[in-house]
Amino acid sequence: MSYYTVLNIQKEPFSTSPDPTFFYHSPEHTTVLRRLEISIRLRRGLCLVLGDVGTGKTTLSRALLQSFSGEEDNFIFHMVLDPDFKSEYQFLSSLTKIFGVSPFFRSAMDHREAIEKYLFQKGVEEKKTVVLLVDEGQKLSQPLLEVLRTLLNYETNEYKLLQLIIMSQMELLPRVKKIRNFMDRVSLKYMINPLDEKETKEMIDFRLRQAGFGGDRSLFSQEAVQRIYEFSQGYPRKIALICHNCLERLVMENREMVSGDLVSSLIQEEGKWS
């Protein structure tokens, strides 16, 4: 009998892939998502979203893209998933390729001019909003941050030609503060915190429902949820990992519900690897 049949679900509920279908809209995540949407629509420029590892930044970025999915004609989204470039030239070369500017350029200045021309064409002539979303922003070196600061100079009298969103771990913050005139360009600063215990339970139930679970009661006891929260400290990725292991054990041991003891035993096993 399959894993899905035993659990009465159609999909994997606790995958750690950034699937926006399984993005739990906690009050905090909902707030930052709406504020990002507003900033993009008003062409405010730079948004900086910080959070520790596993707080849901990457999934949030996918949810943001999905929220504009029906407006492809007005908004152009580009993504940099891993900004670990070795030089300013390499970064600019990558950006021109992402923007679809194909000719070969010999210098960083050539790339900058080509990007400015592209942004003016799309933003002013074609009346489109160009959005660049940079994930894993903590990998941005000082020179690359300077490149992004320069791109934010491209503007009309009314709005920025590039809407830049940086999703990053907290370690980026002191680096950004060292760059003159960078922080005062940030139109939206937001720090994502972990979930509380109530939100942890809501996330678990939400993901089960999204996976097709239609049982009368949750697969997780209240004590199980409490121990999951204590272990994960409310970090969504950690919640998803431990919940997946719980369901796997549920199937293997032919149980009907995840108990607190089952969670404790898995946490103990996990401790052997740390």
Residue pLDDT, tens place only, 118-132 = 999 999 999 999 999
pLDDT beyond 70 at 274: no
For residue range 12-35, list pLDDT tens digits in order: 999 989 899 999 999 999 999 999
Q: Which residue has the higher pLDDT, 206 or 256?
A: 206
The CATH 1.10.8 domain(s) of the chain lie at 3-9+195-271
Determine the 3-state secondary structure of 197 from DSSP: helix
The CATH 3.40.50.300 domain(s) of the chain lie at 27-192
CATH number of 27-192: 3.40.50.300
CATH number of 3-9+195-271: 1.10.8
Alpha helices in the chain (DSSP H): 3-7, 27-41, 57-67, 88-98, 108-120, 142-151, 172-177, 197-210, 222-232, 236-252, 260-271
pLDDT at position 201, please?
Answer: 97
Return the number of other C-beta atoms located less than 10 Å from residue 191's C-beta.
Answer: 14
pLDDT beyond 80 at 271: no
Q: What is the pTM of this model?
A: 0.91
Q: Which residue has the higher pLDDT, 59 or 106?
A: 59
pLDDT beyond 80 at 47: yes
For residue range 169-183, list pLDDT tens digits in order: 999 999 898 887 888
Angle at 66 (CA atoms; ends 22, 111), nearest 5 degrees: 125
